[in-house]
Structure 1
Amino acid sequence: MRIPDGLDPELVARLVETEGGELARKMGIELLELSASHSVARMPVEGNRQVVGLLHGGAHVVLGESLGSLSSAIHAGPGRYAVGIEINATHSRSATEGFVTATCEALVLGRTLCTHEIVMRDDAGSRLSTVRMTNMLRDAR
Structure 2
Amino acid sequence: MTIWNRSYDIDQVNASMNNTIAETLGLLVTEIGPDYIVGTLPVDKRTHQPMGILHGGASVVLAESLGSLAANMVCEKGSACVGLDINANHIRSVRSGIVTGTAKAVHIGRRTQVWEIRLANEEDKTVCVSRLTMAVIDAI
Scaled to the shorter chain, the TM-score interval is: 0.7 to 0.9
Please say which of residues 28-37 and 105-114 is displaced more in the overlay.
Answer: 28-37
Q: How many Å apart are 1:7 and its aligned residue?
A: 3.5
Determine which structure has the larger helix proportion and give its number: 1
Q: How many Å apart are 1:112 and its aligned residue?
A: 1.1
3-state SS in 2 of match to 1:52 = coil
| Structure 1, gaps ≥5 residues long | none
Aligned match of 2:6 = 6
Aligned match of 1:85 = 84
3-state SS in 1 of match to 2:64 = helix
Q: 2:30 aligns with which of 29, 32, 36?
A: 32
Q: How many Å apart are 1:79 and its aligned residue?
A: 1.4
Asked if structure 1 preserves the Cα contact closer than 8 Å seen for 2:90 and 2:128, the reply is yes
Report the CA distance shift for 1:20/1:134 in structure 2 as closer, same or farther (over 3 A).
farther
3-state SS in 1 of match to 2:116 = strand
TM-score for both structures, normalised by structure 1: 0.86
Work out the CA distance in 2 between the residues paired with 1:37 and 1:83: 19
Aligned match of 2:43 = 45
Identity within the alignment, %: 33
1:1-38 CA-to-partner distances (Å, cap 9, x unmatched) read: xxx78348xxx96x354346611000100101236831
Aligned match of 1:107 = 106
Q: Which amino acid aligns with 1:117?
A: E
Work out the CA distance in 1 between the residues paired with 2:48 and 2:63: 16
Q: How many Å apart are 1:140 and its aligned residue?
A: 1.9
Work out the CA distance in 1 between the residues paired with 2:72 and 2:7: 10
Report the CA distance shift for 1:92/1:17 in structure 2 as closer, same or farther (over 3 A).
closer
Q: Which amino acid aligns with 1:38?
A: Y
Aligned match of 1:18 = 16
Aligned match of 1:65 = 64
Q: How many Å apart are 1:72 and its aligned residue?
A: 0.6
| Structure 2, gaps ≥5 residues long | none
Q: RMSD across aligned C-alpha pairs, in angstroms?
A: 2.3
